[in-house]
Structure formats: structure tokens, C-alpha cells
């Protein structure tokens, strides 16, 4: 029998960074705070990005086949929090955040450690998230610094 509390406790021990995933669909852009992300292959360079299926960003990735990941620096908790809220509730999340459009047309946070841009090469729709497999087609470093980790924020997303 599954002990729900033990499951939640142990799954929350999986370490996660915090990122802003920039997405686009046509001329519309959006972003969300992502934490279920990992590298999956060296050749070709692949990452796995798990996206909540009932979000607007999920549909935007599904439609466009691209996304960008901006890596947040330790101390950018407020920026991460800004992108947690659904677009339909807060409007334009990029309103006061400096960004530029990458090769994919997805927004990249200017004040981030750096970024990768991906084209979706596969997707697995199971449970309440879709596992998007993205091939890294562009990358850049803005500056050096320590990665913002979910565990340092006091937040929980998982379990």
C-alpha cells in the first residue's frame, strides 16, 4: 500500500533548479517558472521539460514546437515567483521584465545566467504533465553565478 505522506516527503527530496521557460505561439509570448527539467542526452543535446497540461504555455509549446529555458541565479526568487501565476490571472508577465527573442522567437530573460533554446523532438502526455523532449539548438551564457534551487526558496512543487 502506498503511504501518501512518505511518497510526498521522498519525491520532494528530488533536487530541482528553477528556470523561466519562455514560449511563443505566433506573435504571442508567455513564460512560466519551470522546475521539472533535466538533461537527457549528449548527442544530440536533449533536455526534458515537464509542463502542466492545463496551462496556456503547454498549448503554446504544442502549437509552436519550441521553447527557451532561462537559468535563474540564486537570489532571483522574486523573478521566479512572478512567473508562477497563470497568464490569464496576471496578464503580461513580461511587462516589467527585460527580455529578448531568441532564434526560436521565444523570450529569453536578459538578467539570467544564460539560456538554451530547444525544438521539440518528442512528447509524452501522461498524468497531469507532458514530458517535452527538446533538442538544444542554441545556447548562451550571460554571466557566471550560482543556480537558483527550489530547495532554497522554501517552496514545494512535487510529491
- pLDDT per position as a tens digit, 4-15: 999 888 888 888
In the chain, domain spans: 4-153
C-alpha cell of residue 129: 504533465
What is the chain's Cα-based Rg?
A: 15
Mean pLDDT of the chain: 91
Q: What is the pLDDT of residues 67-85, one digit of tens each?
A: 999 999 999 999 999 998 6
Distances (CA, A) of 137 to 12, 43, 84, 103, 148: 31, 12, 26, 9, 24
- What is the pLDDT, as a whole number, of residue 89? 46
CATH C-level class of 4-153: mainly beta
Amino acid at each position: 500500500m502506498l503511504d501518501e505522506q512518505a511518497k510526498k516527503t521522498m519525491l520532494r527530496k528530488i533536487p530541482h533548479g528553477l528556470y523561466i521557460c519562455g514560449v511563443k505561439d505566433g506573435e504571442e509570448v508567455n513564460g512560466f517558472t519551470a522546475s521539472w527539467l533535466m538533461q537527457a542526452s549528449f548527442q544530440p543535446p536533449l533536455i526534458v521539460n515537464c509542463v502542466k497540461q492545463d496551462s496556456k504555455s503547454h498549448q503554446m509549446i504544442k502549437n509552436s514546437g519550441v521553447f527557451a529555458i532561462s537559468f535563474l541565479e540564486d537570489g532571483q526568487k522574486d523573478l521566479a515567483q512572478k512567473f508562477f501565476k497563470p497568464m490569464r490571472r496576471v496578464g503580461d508577465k513580461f511587462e516589467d521584465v527585460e527580455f529578448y527573442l531568441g532564434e526560436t522567437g521565444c523570450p529569453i530573460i536578459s538578467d539570467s545566467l544564460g539560456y538554451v533554446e530547444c525544438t521539440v523532438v518528442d512528447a509524452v502526455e501522461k498524468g497531469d504533465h507532458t514530458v517535452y523532449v527538446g533538442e538544444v539548438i542554441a545556447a548562451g551564457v550571460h554571466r557566471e553565478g550560482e543556480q537558483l534551487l527550489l530547495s532554497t526558496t522554501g517552496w514545494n512543487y512535487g510529491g
